[in-house]
A and B are shown apart, each in its own frame.
Chain A
Amino acid sequence: DAGITQSPRYKITETGRQVTLMCHQTWSHSYMFWYRQDLGHGLRLIYYSAAADITDKGEVPDGYVVSRSKTENFPLTLESATRSQTSVYFCASSAGIGYGYTFGSGTRLTVV
């Protein structure tokens, strides 16, 4: 199916564990983004990518790592999860500058 897919939908992990959130899009969009959404803070940009092998930090990158070896995939890794990283994570893609985003359904991550 065409679109943008995030997995897993829900994840519970322990403090200190490494966890990877997956994002896959089928449009060959150049731009991909990772946001987190928290009550009181709205959507905040973690990392973004303008093309394969080109990534850059957003507003709240600390504790996160991304890679983009293929245009269609943009995984987000929490190297050592902390309780403050409990959040809903959204991946999005865009055809380019001047275009809006299409969002995935989100991953609800709980760090205990």
Chain B
Amino acid sequence: EDQVTQSPEALRLQEGESSSLNCSYTVSGLRGLFWYRQDPGKGPEFLFTLYSAGEEKEKERLKATLTKKESFLHITAPKPEDSATYLCAVQDVDSWGKLQFGAGTQVVVTP
């Protein structure tokens, strides 16, 4: 059974204080790993897809990396508008396109 574990559950950062979120996963075969951002009262918003170990993707202050066992979402010099819950999800090669989500990391960035 696919498993996705995100850590920490919550993270409080000062503006400009860089940090990383972790997503550990177990799948029979990875088709893709997905990062989403979710703001309160809204649906998750797609950020990145990573397909193979060693791959990296960047968007503004966010950078996602992937190994065979885990993914990291690095937040560089965060701003208050980066405050959100960040969700990680995996798609197994046997999953018919379904995503298995982690519980998320809630990030709060204070000025």
Contacts and interface: CB of A to CB of B under 8 A. Distances in A.
A97 B31 contact: yes
Interface string A79-112: 0000000000010101011111111111000000
Contact of B46 (A33, A58, A102): A102
B98 A48 contact: yes
A105 B101 CA distance: 17
B99 A100 contact: yes
Interface of A: 31, 33, 35, 40-43, 45, 48, 50, 56, 58, 90, 92, 94, 96-106
A98 B93 CA distance: 9
A56 B102 CA distance: 22
B46 A43 contact: no
A98 B101 contact: no
Interface of B: 31-32, 34, 36, 41-46, 49, 51, 87, 89, 91, 96-99, 101-104
B98 A33 contact: yes
Contacts of B103: 40-42
A88 to B, nearest CB: 9
Contact of A43 (B42, B87, B96, B97): B87
B32 A98 contact: yes
B43 A96 contact: no
B43 A43 contact: no
6 contacts: A42-B87, A56-B96, A90-B44, A96-B97, A101-B99, A105-B42
B45 A103 contact: yes
A42 B97 contact: no
A56 B99 CA distance: 14
Contacts of A94: 97
